Structure formats: structure tokens, C-alpha cells
């Protein structure tokens, strides 16, 4: 069995769901969790429920705010004092930035954004998309340990019956070391909702939206079903939505349970960003739009009429 560390972040004081997905998948191994974020009783209880044997609450000067060097230096010191075979993390914005630098400190390899994996004894093998999801490949890490792995949110799924562990909390003093690139300010995004990459339901608009104002009907639907709103590249390039909302090969890759594509034709590059959605609903006036070949439920119709009707139907259910 392997000794494993799962690096964790919190969203609104709760561990990010991807951490719980990873813990569930690693059931049976000795798994510890580490975080720089504030972990209250509820959070530590939940981490224990999902299998964390120890929870290291990392604290130190200059570590209240993320910086790539500060967090990497601190984690480097902590990991060196332990004996982990693997370090896992959800493939979040922060982990994508931090983990490669941290792996580099150990001259170690990293498997990025796997969508599934098997931990057989102390041997890891993962599956990951390549070429924007146009094919899948098996990935293994070789060379010095620990080996690093990041996991795409929403890909593993939540464990049905997690195995709990002791969840013993350890307050760990760590050093940030020298920080040359520091965050001076954070400018909040327009959206209060979950980021597209973590959202469970996404409602997306394409070029047929015709105007940024028209996205309001998607926002209305999103409010009812708790979704995040996305956009195709065509909509972004036409100025109807900011780039942060773009789903696709040169935007974000998403893996929600439900993806509702409104007025999106379904170009290869868009499909690359959302093809692993569990259920896809497409609304388009063109019956030959490529999106219909990937949709579980396709509606040939005018989104400006269909979307409000659908929102009303959703209201009846919720």
C-alpha cells in the first residue's frame, strides 16, 4: 500500500469536492491531507469521513495569500520531512500553477489532469485525455519519488460509500521562504457561481445568442437549476461574453453532469471542451448542427422560445 498526500483547498470553508472524489478513489491506502486554507470542525470531520487518516493544517508567515514560490517552498519542506510515495491534488487553477514547480523541486514527474486512475499496491496508472480529448492515453510516472498527480474535477465521481479514517488534525508550522512574485491585489470575477471547471450543471450560449444582453435568459435558467453559464468561442469572439466564460479547446474544459448547449453549432473545438459531460442537451434551429451528434437530448428549435419554456418546466421540479 502507498503513502499518499492529497493537497486540498476549500471553497466557502468546505473541502473542494475533487478532494473528496480523490479520497474516495484511494480508499484502502494510507492517505493524509494537507491544506493552507482554514479547516473548521465540519471540514475536518468531512475529510475524515472520506478517508483522511491525518489532516495537516499548514500555517506560516506570508502564507495567508497564495504565491507559487511561498506555497511550493512550504510544501517542499513539509513533504521532505515525511515519506510520501505520491502527492495528489485536484487540477484546480492553483494546483495547475503550484504542482509543476513543486514536482520540479523533487526532480519528480507529474501526471496532469487524469480523468481516472488505479492505485494497485503502490503502483499508479492513470488515464488522461490528449489532443483536447480527441483520444485517451494511459499515463504512468517514473523516476524519483514522490510522484505527483493532478485529477480533473468531476471526472472520478463522488464515492458512494466512503471508508472513514481517523482524521487526526496536525497544526504544522511551515516556512514560505523567499517570495519574488507576490499577489498585491485580487480583482473579483463577475460571477458568484462555481467556476465552469467545477460546475455540476452548465448552460452555454453560442453565436445564435446575438447579443450579450440575451445571455440573461440563460442566467435565468441557471438561477433555477443552480448552473454556471458558459459560452462558445463564436459568442466570445463576437463580444457577447467574456473569455473567462469560454468553453472549448482554447477556453475551459468542463465535465459537468448536465450541459445545456443553446444555439451552439458544435464545432470540433467546442466539443473538445465539453464532450465528457455526462448528459448533453442541445437546442439549435439547424437539424444538421454537429452538436446533435453528441447530444443525448436534442431539440430542433429557436432557443429564444425554448429556453424560457424550459426554465418554467425546471421551476416546477425544483
Partner 1 sequence: MNIFVCIKQVPDTETKVTPNADKSYIETNSIKWIMNPYDEFAVEQALQLKASESGSSVTVVRVGGVKDTEALRTAMAMGADDSILVEGPDHLDSYMTAKALKGAIEKSGKKPDLIFAGKQAIDSDSLQVPQLLAQMLNLPSVSVVVGFESEGGQLKLKREIEGGAVEVYEVNAPCVVSCNKGLNTPRYASLPGIMKAKKKPMEKYSLDDVGVSDDDQRVKYSDFQLPPEKPAGKKFDAMDEADQQKVVSEVVNLLRTEAKII
Print the binding letters for residues 227-266 with partner 1: x by CB under 8 A, - otherwise: ---------------xxxxx--xxx-x---xx--------
Among 1, 61, 130, 158, binds partner 1 (CB under 8 A): 130
Are 39 and 57 contacting, i.e. CB atoms less than 8 angstroms apart?
yes
The position carrying cell 473567462 is: 244
271 lies in the binding site for partner 1 (CB under 8 A): no
Number of residues that bind partner 1 (CB under 8 A): 97
For partner 1, give the closer residue by CB, 57 or 300: 300
Q: How far is the CB of 108 from partner 1 (least distance, A)?
A: 7
310 lies in the binding site for partner 1 (CB under 8 A): yes
For partner 1, give the closer residue by CB, 4 or 295: 295
Q: Phi and psi at residue 78, in whole multiples of 5°? A: -65, -50
Calpha distance 12→92 (Å, rounded):
15
10 lies in the binding site for partner 1 (CB under 8 A): no
Quickly count: other Cβ atoms within 10 Å of residue 43's Cβ: 20
HSE-CB for 92 with a 13 A CA cutoff: 19
Q: How far is the CB of 178 from partner 1 (least distance, A)?
A: 9
For partner 1, give the closer residue by CB, 37 or 195: 195
Calpha distance 34→77 (Å, rounded):
13
The three cell numbers of residue 294 are 453528441
HSE-CB for 180 with a 13 A CA cutoff: 0
Contacts to partner 1 from residues 198-217, by CB under 8 A: 198
What region does 9 belong to: left with phi over 0, alpha with psi -120 to 50, or beta? beta
Q: Which of 91, 80, 144 is nearest to 117 (CA)?
A: 91
197 lies in the binding site for partner 1 (CB under 8 A): yes
Region of 31-39, 79-87, 88-96, 210-218 interacting with partner 1 (CB under 8 A)? 88-96
Region of 21-29, 133-141, 158-166, 206-214 interacting with partner 1 (CB under 8 A)? 133-141
Calpha distance 80→98 (Å, rounded):
16
Are 290 and 263 contacting, i.e. CB atoms less than 8 angstroms apart?
no
Are 66 and 176 contacting, i.e. CB atoms less than 8 angstroms apart?
no
77 lies in the binding site for partner 1 (CB under 8 A): no
Say whether 220 sits in a helix, a strand or coil: helix
300 lies in the binding site for partner 1 (CB under 8 A): yes
186 lies in the binding site for partner 1 (CB under 8 A): yes
Among 104, 118, 158, 211, binds partner 1 (CB under 8 A): 104
Contacts to partner 1 from residues 16-75, by CB under 8 A: 66, 68-69, 72
Buried b (16+ CB within 10 A) or exposed e, 256-271: bebbbbbbbbbbebbb
177 lies in the binding site for partner 1 (CB under 8 A): no
Are 119 and 2 contacting, i.e. CB atoms less than 8 angstroms apart?
yes
Among 64, 140, 168, 173, binds partner 1 (CB under 8 A): 140
For partner 1, give the closer residue by CB, 44 or 311: 311
Among 82, 175, 225, 290, binds partner 1 (CB under 8 A): 225
For partner 1, give the closer residue by CB, 95 or 165: 95
Amino acid at each position: 500500500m502507498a503513502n499518499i498526500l492529497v493537497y486540498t483547498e476549500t471553497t466557502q470553508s468546505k473541502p473542494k469536492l475533487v478532494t473528496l472524489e480523490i479520497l474516495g478513489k484511494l480508499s484502502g491506502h494510507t492517505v493524509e491531507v494537507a491544506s493552507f486554507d482554514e479547516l473548521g470542525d465540519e471540514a475536518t470531520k468531512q475529510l475524515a469521513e472520506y478517508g483522511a487518516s491525518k489532516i495537516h493544517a499548514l500555517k506560516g508567515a506570508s502564507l495567508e495569500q497564495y504565491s507559487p514560490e511561498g506555497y511550493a517552498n512550504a510544501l517542499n519542506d513539509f513533504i521532505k520531512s515525511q515519506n510520501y510515495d505520491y502527492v495528489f491534488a485536484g487540477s484546480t487553477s492553483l494546483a495547475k500553477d503550484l504542482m509543476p514547480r513543486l514536482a520540479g523541486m523533487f526532480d519528480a514527474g507529474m501526471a496532469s489532469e487524469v480523468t481516472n486512475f488505479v492505485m494497485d499496491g503502490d503502483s499508479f496508472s492513470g488515464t488522461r485525455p490528449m489532443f483536447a480529448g480527441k483520444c485517451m492515453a494511459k499515463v504512468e510516472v517514473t523516476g524519483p519519488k514522490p510522484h505527483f498527480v493532478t485529477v480533473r474535477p468531476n471526472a472520478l465521481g463522488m464515492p458512494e460509500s466512503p471508508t472513514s479514517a481517523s482524521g487526526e488534525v496536525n497544526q504544522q508550522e511551515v516556512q514560505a521562504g523567499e517570495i519574488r512574485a507576490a499577489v498585491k491585489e485580487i480583482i473579483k470575477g463577475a460571477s458568484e457561481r462555481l467556476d465552469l471547471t467545477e460546475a455540476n450543471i452548465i448552460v452555454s450560449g453560442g453565436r445564435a445568442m446575438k447579443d450579450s444582453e440575451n445571455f440573461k435568459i440563460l442566467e435565468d435558467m441557471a438561477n433555477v437549476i443552480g448552473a454556471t453559464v458558459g459560452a462558445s468561442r463564436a459568442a466570445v469572439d463576437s463580444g457577447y461574453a467574456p473569455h473567462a466564460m469560454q468553453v472549448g479547446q482554447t477556453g475551459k474544459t468542463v465535465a459537468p453532469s448536465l450541459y445545456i448547449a443553446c444555439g451552439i453549432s458544435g464545432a470540433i473545438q467546442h466539443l473538445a471542451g465539453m464532450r465528457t459531460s455526462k448528459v448533453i442537451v442541445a437546442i439549435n434551429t439547424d437539424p444538421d448542427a454537429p452538436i446533435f451528434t453528441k447530444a443525448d437530448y436534442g431539440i430542433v428549435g429557436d432557443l429564444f422560445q425554448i429556453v424560457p419554456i424550459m426554465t418554467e418546466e425546471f421551476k416546477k421540479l425544483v
